[in-house]
Amino acid sequence: MMNMQKFLSSLVITIFLSSCAVEKKTLTENVGKYVPPNINDTNFKNSVITNKNFDETWTSVIDFVNDSFFKIENLEKGSGLLTLSFGSKEAENFIDCGDFEYTLFFTGEEFKGSYIDYAKSGLLAVLEAKMNINIQKIDNESTKVSINTNYKYSTQHALGYYDPELNQTYSFVSGGYKTIDVINPIKGSIPTRTCKSTNFAENSIFKVVK
């Protein structure tokens, strides 16, 4: 009986000492994870044919644009051409750059969310988009509307000073995407980042003319 008590006492002490010896793993560098957006889920078509005449279609587009997030850069009704700009605010509506998370070893700071939210504050990211709309008469009762947008999403990897060699830009068009090798990818993440169009801006125009 005495031997059993000694054995149990020794076992309890061993477990206690073992638990004390276990320390929480301390990070020695920043770690993170990046998940790119799905680039295979788009079936974007850059033109539609509407059952409206040219004047009705043109007026519908102009009225909508004047009360929206778009800014008119140029318009030529005679040729059916309209150039718009957008994207300076709420880039997340217009492009998708995947999801991102990180933990900083020095401060313990954590982030988990969209890469755009991270880039907006962490990389001073800016989106510039130019949309070209071509409205052409087919006959007296139908019109073709074509849209092509050029997206330019710029990030700065040198914070506190300007170094053009540490700036990176994603350039792509409506329905497209761009993948680049990112500067100094955080440990644990893949070395590339991808941004694609959500087609939100283009579809907002198409909904008006349909």
φ, ψ dihedrals at 73, nearest 5°: -95, -35
pLDDT in tens, 68-87: 999 999 999 999 999 999 98
pLDDT level of residue 43 (50, 70, 90 thresholds): confident
| Average pLDDT score over the chain | 87
- Rounded to two decimals, the pTM is 0.83
- What are the extents of the domains in the chain? 49-91+123-209
φ, ψ dihedrals at 200, nearest 5°: -60, -45
Give the CATH class of 49-91+123-209: alpha beta
pLDDT in tens, 132-183: 999 999 999 999 999 999 999 999 876 566 677 789 999 999 999 999 999 8
